[in-house]
A and B are shown apart, each in its own frame.
Chain A
Amino acid sequence: MTVEVRDVARRFGGLAALDGVSLSVAEGEFVALLGPSGSGKTTLLRVLAGLEGTDAGSVRIAGREMAGVPARERGIGVVFQHYALFRHMTVFDNVAFGLRVRRQRPSAAEIATRVRRLLELVQVPELERRYPEQISGGQRQRVALARALAIEPRLLLLDEPFGALDALVRKEVRRWLRGLHDSLGITSILVTHDQEEAMEMADRVAVMERGRVVQLDTAAALLREPATAFVAGFVGDAARLPCAVRDGAAHFAPLPIAPVPVALPDGPATAFTRPGEMLAHRGDGEARVRLVRDEVEGPARLVVQAGPAVLDAVAAPGEAFGRGDPCLLSLRGAHVFSAGGARARAG
């Protein structure tokens, strides 16, 4: 199912949760909504599900205008953040719920067959007689997914579905869920504040800031060409460095970082560099190496104290450092945004 969101606004009291958000998702695509808390990603998901109204704008799903269509008629599968399983029902009854409340209810035998097939699909066929409180978090998530898939949705919405899982299970479940998406051929939208999760699972990532989608792109494009300073700072663990552009170069004074050439007009600016882009060289400067962590592959990672600032850097090729050694810093590359919003790649 295609999803077309255009200029949707939603206010709660004086607060704009969605402020003219637009988003377009293609058939069969897996899109992640990524943003800090309060950026409106969950509200947008709830608007798509029909659990939240809109104050302005239009939402079209599979080409159909959704205004006035209640959640129960949308046929969209939703996996809630805390799963929202029905506590008084067995796993079997939870999964069967969507089939049993249908106007044309399938026969008991058909429901049983379909529920068992779904539980097998999510790899927990042995749990059908258990209650939600008797199973683990990872199992609950699979059951919640099976319950959402029971209504055979063409669009699946996932609200921070991995939040309650421990790191090891999380990684495995992510890959499995992405595989499931591909094999079912459905359209999926995932809400997350975890950029690693968004980038690993999704075809495209929509970065949200204050109720808008500021960039919708592949993970590689987000890293290569962040559209705004916010995106550059939010994805890829970038460090934020205030600087001033003078005569075609960014100067970082008072930070002891060598100037880098950049094609921007003179004036104040902000540079964003990813961890591997700041190099430490041997040499007498005011910067001191505070911590050294040797890596199995690649150069050693350093924590450098430069005046009041603490910066992450890597050792320049062929150089070794000890704690307390003085060093000089340079940038191999950075995204620089001028105060006016103009963007350029430095280095």
Chain B
Amino acid sequence: MSASTRPAGRAAPVRAIPGFPATLAITLLWLGTIVLIPLAALALRPLELGPAGLLASLADERVLAALRLSFGGALLAALLNLPLGLLLAWAVVRLRFPGRGVLDAALDLPFALPTAVAGIALTAVTAPNGWIGAPLEAIFGWKIAFTRAGVVLALMFVGLPFIVRTVEPVLRDMAAEAEEAAATLGATRAQTVMRVVLPGLLPALLTGFALAFARAVGEYGSVIFIAGNLPMLTEIAPLLIVIRLEQFDYAGAAAVGLAMLILSFVVLLAIELLQRRLRRGRR
């Protein structure tokens, strides 16, 4: 459009995506109401304690131990879930065997099951008199229920489907052609997996890892049954928040919540930055 046919003033911006202002407004409103305002309240509440009081509330040995267990356990569980989730996704996508449909459906059960039910079931089988717990203790002397191992097991249970379901579509899309090309270029099967298949799956694996980790950090229902909840040993941070709430220490509970929020944000941000590095030059 030439200058002569248009009156002086700002040119109307041309947008290819329709409804830009409306979608942006709804997004911000939604994000504000259900995410940012509650989080702001969470951030403001502990300030009632004053900076010194906040630090004192968090520097408590029991709080630090609980945070270490929650974050350490969640990271370890997500890490252990990586190879396991990859294997299951591979089985679902590439293998054809009787009962594959049942396996496929069963993978999502941790999504649907009330976490308390999962926790009670896991505790029952891994307890010293349970189906799995009894032989493990008799043969290896291992204890699962009411130990930190039990906490990690429960976190693995709830996190596994996140990894399987994020890797699965990428694996399905990954053309067999790339693997065949690697073979014609002289690569062995192991070289193909290490140099072609795994690097191609890495972004999806990282996303699955982040989701499984995020879910596990906040997990409460399934863990409290299997953990035994011994302060300093098997007590998770979300449980500590509930305990403080029951003692009417709202600011103290919010302080632990704030600490979890910041730590989670740092971990997720780190994963996102790693993702960006991987994605550089792609898409």
**Is there an interface contact between B282 and A101, defined as CB atoms closer than 8 Å?**
no
The 10 closest A-B pairs by CB, nearest first: A98-B185, A84-B177, A131-B281, A84-B181, A101-B187, A71-B183, A78-B184, A88-B199, A72-B186, A101-B191
Q: Select B178's contact among A75, A76, A84, beta carbons within 8 Å.
A: A84
Apart from A78-B180, A97-B182, list 4 A-B contacts with CB within 8 A.
A71-B183, A74-B184, A82-B175, A84-B178
Query: Which residues of B, 224-283, contact A by the 8 Å Cβ criterion?
Result: 278, 281-283
Distance in Å: Cβ of A285 to nearest Cβ of chain B: 55
Q: Is residue B136 contacting chain A, with contact meaning CB distance below 8 A?
A: no
CB pair B183–A133 under 8 Å, yes or no, is no
Interface string of A56-88 (1 = CB under 8 A from B): 000000000000001111111110111011111
Residue pairs across A and B with CB atoms within 8 Å: the count is 82
A151 cross-chain contacts in B, Cβ below 8 A: 185-186
| A6, B178: Cα distance in complex, Å | 29
A148 to B181, CA, bound (A): 9
A–B pairs, 30, beta carbons within 8 Å: A49-B180, A49-B184, A50-B184, A71-B183, A71-B184, A72-B188, A73-B186, A74-B184, A75-B186, A77-B184, A78-B184, A80-B181, A84-B177, A84-B178, A85-B178, A86-B178, A86-B200, A87-B178, A90-B281, A98-B186, A101-B182, A101-B195, A131-B282, A133-B281, A133-B282, A133-B283, A134-B281, A147-B181, A147-B185, A151-B185
Chain A residues with Cβ below 8 Å from B196 are 86
Nearest-CB distance from A128 to chain B (Å)? Answer: 12
| Smallest beta-carbon distance B248→chain A, Å | 54
A97 to B181, CA, bound (A): 10
Name which residue of chain A comes closest to B202, CB basis. A88
Q: B182-220, CB under 8 A of A: which get 1 and which 0?
A: 111111100100011001101000000000000000000
Q: What residues on A are CB-neighbors of B282 within 8 Å?
A: 87-88, 131, 133
The residues of A that contact B200 with a CB separation of less than 8 Å are 86-88
B175 touches A84 (CB 8 A): yes
CA distance A74 to B182 in the complex (A): 13
Q: Which residues does B use to contact A, with CB under 8 Å?
A: 175, 177-178, 180-188, 191, 195-196, 199-200, 202, 278, 281-283
Shortest distance from the beta carbon of B193 to any chain A beta carbon, whole Å: 12
The residue in A74, A77, A81, A84 that gathers the most chain B C-beta atoms within 10 A of its C-beta is: A84
Asked if A130 and B180 make an inter-chain contact with CB atoms under 8 angstroms apart, the answer reads no
Interface size classification for chain A: 20 to 34
A134 to B281, CA, bound (A): 7
Closest A residue to B283 by beta carbon equals: A133
In the complex, A73 Cα to B187 Cα: how many Å?
9
**Known contacts A86-B196, A87-B282, A88-B199: A150-B183 contact under CB 8 Å:** no
Residue of B nearest to A70 (CB): B183
CB distance from A50 to the nearest CB of B (A): 8
B177, B187, B278: the one within 8 Å of A97 (CB): B187
Chain A residues within 8 Å of B182, by CB: 86, 97, 101
A151 to B182, CA, bound (A): 12
State whether the Cβ of A51 lies closer than 8 Å to any Cβ in chain B: yes
Q: Smallest distance from the beta carbon of B282 to chain A beta carbons, Å? A: 6
Task: State the Cβ distance, B134 to closest chain A Cβ, in Å.
Answer: 47
Contacting pair B178 A72 (CB below 8 A): no
Whether A71 pairs with B195 at a CB distance below 8 angstroms is: no
Q: How far is the CB of A14 from chain B (nearest CB, A)?
A: 18
A98 to B188, CA, bound (A): 11
Name the residue on A nearest B198 (C-beta). Answer: A88
Q: Are A76 and B184 in contact (CB under 8 A)?
A: yes
Complex: how many Å from CA A86 to CA B183? 13
Across the interface, do B281 and A51 meet the contact criterion of CB distance under 8 Å? no
Q: How far is the CB of B267 from the nearest CB of chain A, in Å?
A: 24
Return the chain A residue nearest B196 by Cβ.
Answer: A86
- Which A residues lie within 8 Å of B283 (CB)? 133
Nearest A residue (CB) for B174: A87
Residues of B within 8 A of A134 (CB): 281
Smallest distance from the beta carbon of A85 to chain B beta carbons, Å? 8
Residue of B nearest to A77 (CB): B184
Closest-by-CB residue of A relative to B280 is A131
CB pair B183 A51 closer than 8 Å: yes
A78 (CB) vs chain B CBs: closest residue: B184
Q: Give Cα distance in the complex from A71 to B195, angstroms.
A: 17
In Å, the complex CA distance between A86 and B191 comes to 13
How far, in whole Å, are A98 and B195 apart by their CA atoms in the complex? 12
Cβ–Cβ < 8 Å partners of A150 in chain B: 185
Closest Cβ of chain B to A1, distance in Å, is 15
How far is it, in angstroms, between the C-alpha of A131 and the C-alpha of B283 when the chains are bound? 9
> Please, which residue of chain B has its CB at the minimum distance from the CB of A74?
B184
Docked pose: A78 CA to B175 CA in angstroms: 16
B180 touches A101 (CB 8 A): no
Is the pair B281, A72 in contact by a Cβ cutoff of 8 Å? no
Tell whether A84 pairs with B186 under 8 Å between CB atoms, given A101-B195, A131-B281, A131-B282: no
A102 CB contacts on chain B under 8 angstroms: 186
Report the minimum CB–CB distance from A224 to chain B (whole Å).
Answer: 37
Q: Which residues of A sit under 8 angstroms from B202, Cβ to Cβ?
A: 88
